[in-house]
Amino acid sequence: MADELTPAVSDCAADAAGPEESEEPPKQRKNGLYPGVSDELAENMKSGWADTELRGLEPIAQAAETAARRAALSARFPGERLVIPAGNLKTRSNDTDYPFRASVEYAYLTGNQTEDGVLVLEPAADGHRATIYLLPRSDRENGEFWLSGQGELWVGRRHSLTEAAELYGIPASDVRELADALREATGPVRLVRGYDAAIEAALTDKVTAERDEELRVFLSEERLVKDEFEIGELQKAVDSTVRGFEDVVRVLDKAEATSERYIEGTFFLRARVEGNDVGYGSICASGPHACTLHWVRNDGPVRSGDLLLLDAGVETHTYYTADVTRTLPVSGRFSEIQKKIYDAVHEAQEAGIAAVQPGAKYRNFHDAAQRVLTERLVEWGLVEGPVERVLELGLQRRWTLHGTGHMLGMDVHDCAAARVESYVDGTLEPGMVLTVEPGLYFQADDLTVPEEYRGIGVRIEDDILVTEDGNRNLSAGLPRQSDEVESWMAALKG
Ligand SMILES: [Mn+2]
C-alpha cells in the first residue's frame, strides 16, 4: 500500500499538529493545508475534475424489506428518537485498520454498510421520519479530497448524499453535523450502544442503559424470523460455501504437503471472490485439533489417515453467513472407528433435523440429538446406563461438549440479544433459520475411553430453514452420509 504522503496526511488538514510543526509553523494553515503544499499546487488540485455524480440510481434489492423492518421498529417505539450507528473503523496497528463491518442493526435497517454512518428515526406525526447520516463526497476546494486520511483519493469514491438517498430509499444528511444536533435535541431517545463513541458521548445525558437495552433486544428479536430477501441471501451464502468445501477437497494433497493453512486459504479465496468475507474464522481442524471446538490457529499438519473437521461459512455481500461443518477423512476413506463415531453423529443429526418443525419447542432438536449420542455412548460402554440416568446427570457432555445449534443470519450466532423466552425457551416459526450441529469429541488425553477413540472429533452441521410444513436443509448440496461422503470425495479428488 502507498504510504508516502500518509504520515503528514493522517493527521488531516483540520487538526494538523505534527511534531515538525512546532519547530516550523506551517505557511498555509489558513487553507487547512499542509506545509510543503505550495499555493500553486493547492490551487491546481481544486479544479480539472469531471462531474461523476450518478443520476437515476435504482434502489438496492432489499429496499422494500429494509423499509418494512424500519416500520416495525417505529411501531414498537412511538414518539421516541432512535439512533442506530454503523460504527467506526478500528485501528489494527499504527495507521492500518481492520476491515470494516457495519453493525448488524444498522445494516439490517438500511442495507448500507458505510463506516461512521448513523440511522436516526425522528418521531413524526405518523410514526417516524428516517434519515441516514453519512460522510458526503470529499470537498475538492479545501483539499480534503487529497490531503485528509478520509479523502476519497485515499479511500475511494463515496456515494453523494443524493445518490445514497436514491439507493437506500432514505433521505441522507451530513454525519459531521449529527453529534451537535443530537446534543441539542429534546425528547426521549434510545441508542444502540457499543459502536460509535462520539455519538454515545453526545447522548450520554439523555439515554439510560435499561431503555437502550430494550432497543437492542427488540432489534435482535426482530431478526429471528427471516424475510424472503434474507432467506435468498442465506441460500446464496450456503451455495458459495458448498463450492468452498469442494475447493478444499480438491487440494487436500497440497494441504498434506503444507498445513491446515492451505485449507483456510483455499476456503477464504472462495469467500472473497463470491462473497464479502468468511462469516467467522474458519475452523480447519485436522486430527486431534477437531477436539478443540474453536480451533482457528489452523497451523497444524494434515495427515492421511486423520479426519479433517472443517467448519466454515461464506458471508454474502449483504452480510448473511452460512455455518457448515463437515468431517472428512483426509485419505478419502473412513477407518472403522472413525466411521463408527461419524455414523453416530450423523444419526443424531438426522434426529435433530427431524425435530425442526414449525410449532415445535426450540429445545426439541437439541434434546433429540443428545439422546441419540447418549444411546451410542452407553452402547459402546463409555458411560454406564441407563440412558435416562446419563441424560439427567448430563454425563454425555464430557464428549458432546456444546449445544446442538443456534439461530443463523447476519451474525453466525444470530439474535444473541433475544430474550430466553423468545429464543431458547421459545417456539420455532416458519422463516427461522438455525444450525443443527451435533458432535462427539474424544480428547487425545482422555483416559476414560479406549485408546482407539482418542484424538477423534466429529461434527456435522447444516443450516435448516423452518418452513410452513416442516423444514428445508439449505446445505443439502454437501453429502453427510458416510458412504456418500467417500464417493463425493473420490469424484472431486479425481
Ligand atoms: Mn454453528
The pLDDT of residue 34: 63
Tell me the CA–centroid distance for residue 170 and ligand 1, in Å: 34
Tell me the CA–centroid distance for residue 278 and ligand 1, in Å: 13
> Is the pLDDT assigned to residue 458 strictly greater than 50?
yes
Instruction: Please give all residues whose CB falls under 5 A of ion ligand 1, grouped by chain where several chains appear.
Output: 323, 435
The pLDDT of residue 24: 44
Tell me the CA–centroid distance for residue 327 and ligand 1, in Å: 14
The pLDDT of residue 36: 81
The pLDDT of residue 1: 56
Tell me the CA–centroid distance for residue 234 and ligand 1, in Å: 14
What pTM was computed for the model?
0.93
Tell me the CA–centroid distance for residue 302 and ligand 1, in Å: 23
Tell me the CA–centroid distance for residue 91 and ligand 1, in Å: 28
Tell me the CA–centroid distance for residue 437 and ligand 1, in Å: 7
pLDDT band at 37 (very low <50, low <70, confident <90, very high): confident
**pLDDT per position as a tens digit, 253-290:** 999 999 999 999 999 999 999 999 999 999 999 999 99
* Of 27 and 212, more confident: 212
Tell me the CA–centroid distance for residue 323 and ligand 1, in Å: 5
Tell me the CA–centroid distance for residue 221 and ligand 1, in Å: 19
Tell me the CA–centroid distance for residue 480 and ligand 1, in Å: 16
Q: How far apart are CA 259 and CA 264, in angstroms?
A: 9
Tell me the CA–centroid distance for residue 39 and ligand 1, in Å: 58
Q: How far apart are CA 199 and CA 186, in angstroms?
A: 15
Which residue(s) pair with 104 in the sheet?
none
Tell me the CA–centroid distance for residue 468 and ligand 1, in Å: 23
Tell me the CA–centroid distance for residue 252 and ligand 1, in Å: 23
Tell me the CA–centroid distance for residue 352 and ligand 1, in Å: 14
Tell me the CA–centroid distance for residue 369 and ligand 1, in Å: 15
**pLDDT per position as a tens digit, 298-314:** 999 999 999 999 999 99
> Is the pLDDT assigned to residue 494 strictly greater than 90?
no
Tell me the CA–centroid distance for residue 225 and ligand 1, in Å: 18
Tell me the CA–centroid distance for residue 406 and ligand 1, in Å: 7
Range 33-50 average pLDDT: 87
Tell me the CA–centroid distance for residue 162 and ligand 1, in Å: 40
> Is the pLDDT assigned to residue 385 strictly greater than 60?
yes
Q: How far apart are CA 363 and CA 434, in angstroms?
A: 12
> Is the pLDDT assigned to residue 11 strictly greater than 50?
no
Tell me the CA–centroid distance for residue 264 and ligand 1, in Å: 17
